Amino acid sequence: MFFASTTFTLIHVLLSLIGIAAGFAVVFGLLRSEMRDGWTATFLASTIATSVTGFFFPFDQFLPSHWVGVISLVVLAAAVLARYVFQVAGAWRWVYVISAVAALYFNTFVLVVQAFRKIPALHALAPTESEPPFAIAQGVVLILFVVLGFAAVRAFRPARTVPA
C-alpha cells in the first residue's frame, strides 16, 4: 500500500515540478485574461496527482504535510468544478482564480519546505525550519501569491462564448 522507493519519490517530485511550471503558465494566462486550456489541464492533473501521491509515502501519524495535501485537494476540487463544470461563469470566475492560485501556492510552499530540507546551504540557514531565513522565504512566497491572486481576480475576464 505505501511506497518509499526512489522511483516513486522521483515521480512525486516530477509531478510537483510539472504542476508548478504549468501553474505559473496558468496564472500568467489569468493575468492576461487567457484560459490556456492545455496548461490548465496539465496544472490541475499534475497538482492533483502530486497531492494524492503524497499520501502514499510511509507515515505513522497524520503530519502537517498531510493537512497541506488535504487542503490542496479541496482547493483543487473547487478549481476543477469552477473551470470544467461551471465554465467560470459568474462568481465561479473568481472561485476558479483564487483556487488555482491557492493550489499553486500550496505546491510552491511545499517546494520551499523541501528546498530547506534537501539543499545543504538552505538547511544550514534554517535546520529546524523555525529560523528567520525560512520564515522570510515563506513570507515572500505568501506575499507574492497574495499579490498574484488579487491581480488575477481583477484581470481575468474570459470572453463569453455563446452556445451554438
Q: For 66-124, what is each residue's pLDDT tens digit?
A: 999 999 999 999 999 999 999 999 999 999 999 999 999 999 999 999 999 999 999 99
pTM: 0.92
User: Which residue, chain included where needed, has cell 498574484?
Assistant: 148
**What residue ranges do the domains of the chain occupy?**
6-155
Spatial CB neighbours of 52, under 8 Å, sequence gap ≥ 6 = 69, 73
Q: For 45-79, what is each residue's pLDDT tens digit?
A: 999 999 999 999 988 999 889 999 999 999 999 99
Q: Sort residue 87 into left (φ over 0), alpha (ψ -120 to 50) or beta.
A: left
